[in-house]
């Protein structure tokens, strides 16, 4: 299974972590633009682009973002129907892994 967007809805937690990271580095944050970018590309691509534009270390940005995200695990919720799909697959004897 893929987790993000399939079983788990972690986008709000991810966006919140990016917002905190941007604030820490005084980077302007536009939630909708960031959401569109990460859905089309990835969080990593966003951080690399921002780091290049602002002459920052992308790895440092990613570390700060990861720390912020780890503090937001409570914001991660199951996608609608995820529990039922997992139960169905289990009852059908389908081997599952992430």
* pLDDT (0 to 100) of residue 77: 85
CA distance 44 to 55: 16
- Domain positions in the chain are 8-91
pTM assigned to the model: 0.76
Q: For the stretch 60-97, what's the b/e string if a residue is b when 16 or more beta carbons lie within 10 angstroms of its beta carbon? A: ebbebbeebbeebeebbeeeeebeeeeeeeeeeeeeee
Question: Is pLDDT above 80 for 98?
Answer: no
* pLDDT (0 to 100) of residue 8: 85
CA distance 24 to 65: 10
pLDDT in tens, 5-38: 788 888 888 999 999 999 999 999 999 999 999 9
Of 12-16, 72-76, 78-82, 91-95, where does mean pLDDT reach its minimum? 72-76
Question: Is pLDDT above 80 for 94?
Answer: yes
Q: Which fold does the domain 8-91 belong to in CATH?
A: DNA polymerase; domain 1 (1.10.150)
Q: What token pair was written down for 66? A: 């990861």
Q: How far is CA 8 from CA 56, 60, 67, in A?
A: 31, 26, 19
pLDDT in tens, 55-70: 999 999 999 998 888 8
């Amino acid at each position: 299974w893929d987790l993000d967007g399939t079983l788990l809805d972690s986008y709000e937690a991810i966006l919140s972590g990016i917002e905190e990271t941007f604030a820490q580095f005084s980077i302007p944050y536009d939630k909708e633009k960031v959401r569109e970018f990460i859905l089309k590309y990835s969080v990593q691509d966003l951080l690399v682009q921002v780091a290049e534009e602002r002459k920052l270390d992308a790895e440092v940005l990613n570390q700060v973002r990861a720390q912020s995200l780890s503090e937001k695990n409570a914001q991660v919720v199951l996608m609608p129907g995820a529990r039922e799909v997992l139960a169905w697959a289990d009852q059908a004897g389908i081997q599952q892994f992430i």
